[in-house]
Amino acid sequence: MSGTVRATLERASPARIARRPSRPQLIKASITTVLLLFAFFALPELLSLYYVDTMTQVAVYSMVTLALGLLVGRVGLFSLGQAAVLAIGAWAAARLLFATTQPYPLILLEAGLITMVAGLVIGLPALRLRGLYLALITLMLAGGITVVLATVNFPNGGHGFLGYNGSLLHIPPIRRPSIAASDPAYFRYSMVVAILMFALVLAHIKTRPGRAWAAIRQSEPAALAAGINTTLYKLWAFALASFITGVAGGVLAGAIHYLYSINFPTQDSITLLAVTLMGGVFSLWGAVVAGFLYQFLPALLNNWGVSADWLIILFGLGVLQVLTTAPAGLADQFPRDMARLGRLLRRAASRGDAP
Amino acid sequence: MIEVSGLTVRYGGVTSLDAMSLTFEQGTCGLIGPNGAGKTTFFNVLSGFVRPAAGTVRAFGLDLLSMAHYRRARWGVRRTFQTEQAIEELSVFDNVAMVHEHSRQGGSRRGDVLDAIAFAGLDADPAASVRTLGAGQRRLVEVARAVVGRPRLVLLDEPAAGLPDEETSHLAEVIRRIPEHTGALAILVDHDMSLVSACCTTTAVLDFGKLIASGPTAAVLRDDAVIRAYLGVA
């Protein structure tokens, strides 16, 4: 007995669990860094403006699916109102951009905070529900918000609280930050904002809230027995997800210059959940994959002259495949498949070498 | 010291605890009885998952039932579950740290957490994911969670269920030392009488929600009513 304890103590000596990253972690971090540097410096030079704009959208929707993945994967809350939350963020940012001359980062922060408050107002009553009922309620709320937005319209440089003037002949575009006026520069700007949002989520997952969310998702009784205020932490997740989506809405406003309520149909929320699940909700890469599925694939198909409506069918099949064979999504499955392919090729090669 | 008086719990027409009155003094106390006797219900009342129809629980002079459930854990109520609830997504260290950061913290987090893991005699890398652990090790993760951060009351719900003899005897040794190590009062529910005899100085017996015996463990296990209701005649 005392032998075991001593052995455990030695094993548990701080050196053993010092925060020195392991080899796989180092490899992962360096791959991430290289990819990000490539995307930041080389991508806008290599791509046509059409695809640069598409990549900006990928950055925006990676943030949206990051937020949704946080709710679904970390806390187990299924929200079908994400497109509406994005619309709130875009609306708030557009209103502030027309009304003030504040610097863009400040506007994004404010849009995020306003959306966070809206998300909390929605989230507080909704948190009494779980699973299907929470999904239903958020979907209904998203529908409601879409209806309201269709009535009040997005700000277009008009006066008053709503900032909309239906009789304007010349509608001014929503401004961009002065350092990122061109499309390639704005892509880089969006990417930096997205990286900051991913870092924000990572900082949460690796610390106290991340542990609390993991406990809540597996077992609420276990979380309560550990002294975790489950309501507080669920609200915290809702607030964080709304904040990130609001910031994404702000970036979206500058990206497309003109906002209309038809940009945010309720069914987008459903597609967003589908791509989030397909990308994978247990890793942050999943959100990037989901951003590509949601924005890059349609752009690619449009460019090829194929209707993007086919994607709805494809996404349906994709979700079915993910839910049945790869619950951790493409972000988890793809590297695994690649490793398997590598092993197969190596084996085939060594067999070929053999006499 | 935990003083329970007149505790009654009803689920619809079923009376799960029937005016239970009992005092747990100190050390490790056993709570035994046949299935459905109300043992887990009693734990659920203490941890706040079940609201009793009547009765009071005073824990070290404090009215326990008036506290919100997560606050009880912060005050010092800890428990393990009948079906083990180590959080799979987290490492061993994070499982224990999760309880520590919501408790009356004693010392440094790192030191306290490693201390608790060592106390449970958990022979696993603290950085290892719980997913990779066996059933016995997961039980010990739960025990480590239950002793970290100065607990006052540790509730162990069938911690040895499904464990092989060797791991059970290790667990018995750990449970026996919980009171002196943490200063907490421990209550053990189990069907393994050798475990209860090894760990508990006093034992109480429930049957159909009623207390039918309590006192020093050896005497209780020889009690006629207990043998009739639970242990059976050899």
* Assembly ipTM: 0.89
Q: CA-to-CA distance for B78 and B151, rounded, in angstroms?
A: 7
* Confidence tier at A5 by pLDDT (50, 70, 90): very low
Do the beta carbons of residue B222 and residue B51 sit within 8 Å? no
pLDDT for residue B233: 65
CB contact (8 A) between residue A224 and residue B49: yes
- Mean pLDDT value of segment A332-338: 82
Q: Is residue A309 part of a domain?
A: no
Cβ atoms of residues A54 and A111 within 8 Å: no
Q: Calculate ∠ Cα A300-A303-A305, nearest 5°.
A: 110
CA distance B169 to A4: 13
What CATH number should be reported for the domain whose range is B2-83+151-231? 3.40.50.300
Q: Which residues lie closer than 8 Å to A149 by C-beta, 6 or more apart? A: A87, A91, A261, A264
Does residue A300 lie within any of the structural domains? no
From the CA of B69, how many Å to the nearest CA of chain A?
A: 7
pLDDT of residue B149: 86
Residue A81 has pLDDT above 60, yes or no: yes
> Which of B69, B121, B145 is nearest residue A5 as measured by Cβ atoms?
B121
Which residues touch B212 (CB under 8 Å, ≥6 apart)?
B33, B205, B206, B225, B226, B229
More confident residue, A137 or A66: A66
What SS3 state is found at A9? helix
Q: And the tokens for A282? A: 């247990």
Of B73, B110, B126, nearest to A225 by CB-CB distance is B73
Can you tell me whether residue B54 is helix, strand or coil? strand
pLDDT confidence of residue A11: 45
Residue A17: which of B79, B93, B101 has the nearest Cβ?
B93
In the numeric block, the tokens 């700007």 are attached to A189
Share of residues in chain A with pLDDT > 70 (%): 93
Q: Are B178 and B186 in contact (CB under 8 A)?
A: yes
Longest Cα–Cα distance in chain B: 52
The verdict on a CB contact (< 8 Å) between A5 and B118 is yes
The per-residue pLDDT for range A170-220, each reduced to its tens digit, is: 788 888 998 988 999 999 999 999 999 999 999 999 999 999 999 999 998
Under an 8 Å CB criterion, which residues of A touch B? 1, 4-5, 7-9, 11-12, 14, 16-17, 208, 211-212, 214-215, 217-219, 221-222, 224-230
| pTM for the whole structure | 0.87
pLDDT band at A329 (very low <50, low <70, confident <90, very high): confident
Using an 8 Å Cβ cutoff, are A80 and A273 in contact? yes
Closest by alpha carbon to A154, among A176, A137, A172? A172
Question: Which residues of chain B are within 8 Å of residue A212 when distances are taken between CB atoms?
Answer: 98
pLDDT score, position A261 = 86
Q: How far is B222 from chain A (nearest CA, A)?
A: 31
Residue A105: per-residue pLDDT: 94
Asked, for residue A125, whether it belongs to a domain, the answer is yes
Q: Taking an 8 Å Cβ-Cβ cutoff, which residues of chain B contact chain A? A: 47-49, 69-71, 73-74, 77-79, 81, 85, 87-90, 93-94, 97-99, 101-103, 110, 114, 117-119, 121-123, 125-127, 145, 170, 173
Question: Which of A74, A211, A216 is the mutation pick for testing B, counting most B CBs within 10 A?
Answer: A211
Residue A306 CA to residue B226 CA, distance in Å, equals: 78
Enumerate the residues of chain B whose CB falls inside 8 A of the CB of residue A218: 85, 87-89
Other C-beta atoms lying within 10 Å of the C-beta of residue A45: 8
* Residues of the domain holding A114: 24-161+173-262
B43 to chain A, minimum CA–CA distance in Å? Answer: 11
The pLDDT of A96-113, averaged and rounded, is: 94
- In the three-class reduction of DSSP (H, G, I as helix; E, B as strand; rest coil), residue A335 is classed as helix
Nearest to A209 by CA among B97, B194, B34, B216: B97
Chain A nearest CA to B33, separation (Å): 24
Q: Is residue A302 part of a domain?
A: no
pLDDT exceeds cutoff 80 at A350: yes
Considering only the beta carbons, identify the residue of A208, A222, A227 that sits closest to B74: A227
Which residues in chain B are contacts of A229 at CB distance < 8 A?
70
Report the mean per-residue pLDDT for chain A.
87
Does residue A283 surpass a pLDDT of 90? no
Which ranges of B25-131 would DSSP assign to H, the alpha helix? 39-47, 69-75, 92-100, 109-119
Domain ranges of chain B: 2-83+151-231
Q: How many angstroms separate the CA atoms of B157 and B82, rounded?
A: 5
Residue A256 CA to residue A258 CA, distance in Å, equals 6
Closest Cβ opposite residue A17 in set B47, B74, B127? B127
- Mean per-residue pLDDT, A138-160: 86
Nearest CB to B98: which of A1, A7, A226?
A: A226
CA–CA dist A223, B67 (Å, integer): 16
Q: A-chain residues within 8 Å CB-CB of B78? A: 225
Distance of CA A128 to CAs A77, A303, B193, Å? Answer: 11, 45, 42
| Residue of chain B nearest A9, judged by CA positions | B118
Residues of chain A with Cβ-Cβ distance to B117 below 8 Å are 8, 12
Q: Cβ contact (<8 Å) for A11 and B123?
A: yes
- Two tokens at A147? 């209806």
| Partner-chain contact A12 B114, CB within 8 Å | yes
pLDDT (average), residues A285-305: 92
Q: End-to-end CA distance of chain B, in Å?
A: 35
Q: Is A20's pLDDT higher than 60?
A: yes
Dist. CA A300–CA B233, nearest whole Å: 78
pLDDT at A12 over 60: no
- Is residue A68 in a domain? yes
Residues in Cβ contact with A268 at an 8 Å cutoff, skipping those fewer than 6 apart: A82, A83
Least confident of A24-28, A53-57, A192-196: A24-28
Domain count, chain A: 1
Residue A344 lies in a domain: no
What was the pLDDT predicted at A90?
A: 95
Assigned domain for A284 exists = no
| A249, pLDDT greater than 90 | yes
Please give the pLDDT value at position A348: 87
Give residue-wise pLDDT tens across range A121-143: 877 877 777 778 888 888 998 88
Q: Indicate yes or no: CB of B122 within 8 angstroms of CB of A8.
A: yes
Sign of CA dihedral A175, A179, A180, A181: positive
Report the alpha-carbon distance of residue A340 to residue A346 in Å, rounded.
10
| Nearest CB to B94; choose among A211, A222, A227 | A211
Q: Do B102 and A226 touch (CB under 8 A)?
A: yes
A163: which residues sit within 8 A by CB, 6+ positions away?
A94, A95, A98, A99, A155, A156, A157
pLDDT tens-digit profile, chain B (234 residues): 899 999 999 988 888 999 999 999 889 999 998 888 889 999 999 999 999 999 999 998 889 999 888 889 889 999 999 888 999 999 999 999 999 998 877 678 888 999 999 999 998 899 999 999 998 899 999 999 999 988 999 999 999 888 888 889 999 999 999 999 999 999 999 988 889 999 999 999 999 888 988 999 989 888 888 888 887 765
Taking residue A131's Cβ as centre, other Cβ atoms within 10 Å add up to 10
Higher pLDDT, A156 or A7: A156
Sign of CA dihedral A100, A103, A104, A107: negative
Do B74 and A188 touch, CB atoms closer than 8 A?
no
Number of H helices, E strands in chain A: 16, 0
Q: Which amino acid is at B193?
A: M
Residue B232 zone, left/alpha/beta (φ > 0; ψ -120 to 50; rest): left
Does residue A301 belong to any structural domain of this protein?
A: no
